[in-house]
Structure 1
Amino acid sequence: MKDDLHKVVARILKDIRVDLTDEFDRNFERQGFFSQKWARRKSPMRPGGSILIDTGGLRRSVQSRSTDSSITFYSSHPAAAIHNEGGEIKVTRKMKAYFWHRYYEAVGSFGRKKNGERRQDKRTVQLSTEAEFWKLLALMKVGGSIKIPKRQFLGTAPEVEKTVTEIIEENLTEYFNHLDIKQK
């Protein structure tokens, strides 16, 4: 009986791990934490594009580890905490250099006519707004702050608790039904 209970707990933890891993991954598709939508982008890059999925690194970094009695979900991505909880980051010299790099990269990508003037096609217009965005960031003072909105993708929520409760009830019902059949 004790051995059976250990198997049931192990199955419950495995089911919770699988289901919640899928749900936390779906947060990136939903662009929100379950029913709570994330704040929209303010940058002109990829207008209308997905939030927090530029490279997919943050999404792929969500992992879990389990013990005999618990499961922990975490992300190894360096920017995971600031995106999940929100907050402010201080501008450093290194960041300013990166912002200037991105500005010059955007400016160099402008489409040009044969006479050297900028084309007014959709891509060039978007690049000019992108260049302005990077220039604005590059002109910030060292020590200035950039506000990162909370875009939670991991943590507890009523949906998480509901999923966990359903899995526990389902596994316990299955165990007790199986136990009743054995005893008859």
Structure 2
Amino acid sequence: MLNANELKTDILNDLRVELSEEFDRNFERKAFFSDKWKPRAHDYPKGSLLLVTGAMRRSTQGHVEGNGVRFSSALAYAAIHNEGGTGFKPVKSHQRKSKKGKVYTVRAHSRKFTIPKRQFIGDGPDTQRLIKGVIDDNLQKFNLSLTNFIKK
């Protein structure tokens, strides 16, 4: 028979697995559940939206911590894609050629960029619905095992 600690552990492990699968499917859906991601300004021939190499998709992992499940990515750029925002990227000094053929040097500088929010991990109505479903399923299993224990 399950005790309260085992029930909690089962719920958290099931949440980690279920949410991991759904967050992974967000890359296929190109949406955070049903909220579609904003398309790119230009159509790039290489890869799909947020899926050029698949590194970000593979890097997201869930961990049971205390009384919850925490999702993270080891990649520095995952957070800005998930939350959106602006930043600065360093540009190295390099050579350019003008239309007239003159070669000149561009000094090193920083370029500002803005990335729209394309959430793939986080909380929302769909996440809460999944959490409720996992908890309900585990409580039903717990009640069945409790009922079977009492009958014996």
TM range (shorter): 0.7 to 0.9
How many matched pairs? 141
Distance 2:59 2:111 in 1: 29
More helix by share: 1
Q: TM-score if structure 1 supplies the norm length?
A: 0.69
* d(CA) in 2 for partners of 1:78, 1:84: 11
Indicate the percent of aligned positions where both proteins have the same amino acid: 38
Q: Which has the larger radius of gyration?
A: 1
What does 1:113-152 align with in structure 2 at a 5 Å threshold? 142-152=109-119
Aligned letter for 1:66? V
- Tell me which residue corresponds to 1:161: 128
AA partner of residue 36 (structure 1): D
| Residue pairs, 1:14-53, within 5 angstroms | 14-46=13-45, 49-53=47-51
Aligned residue type for 2:119: Q
Q: How far apart are the structure 1 equivalents of 2:21 and 2:146?
A: 31
Cα deviation digits, residues 142-163 of structure 1 (max 9, x gap): 3442211111111101111100
In the alignment, structure 1 segments of 5+ residues that lack a partner are 104-138
The alignment yields a C-alpha RMSD, in angstroms, of 2.3
Q: 1:163 to 1:90 in 2, by over 3 A?
A: same
Return 5+ residue gaps in structure 2 as ranges.
97-105
The DSSP-based 3-state class of the residue aligned with 1:71 is: strand
SS at match of 2:3: helix
Residue identity in the other structure for 2:26: N
Residues 49-96 of structure 1: CA distance to partner in whole angstroms, max 9, x if unpaired? Answer: 5200001111001011113522101111111011011111224223x7
Give distance in 2, aligned partners of 1:39 and 1:166. 29
TM-score, normalised relative to structure 2: 0.83
Q: Secondary structure at the match of 1:10?
A: helix
> 1-side partners of 2:110 and 2:75: how far apart?
24
Structure 1 residues 182 and 31: alpha-carbon distance in aligned structure 2, compared to 1, 3 A threshold: same
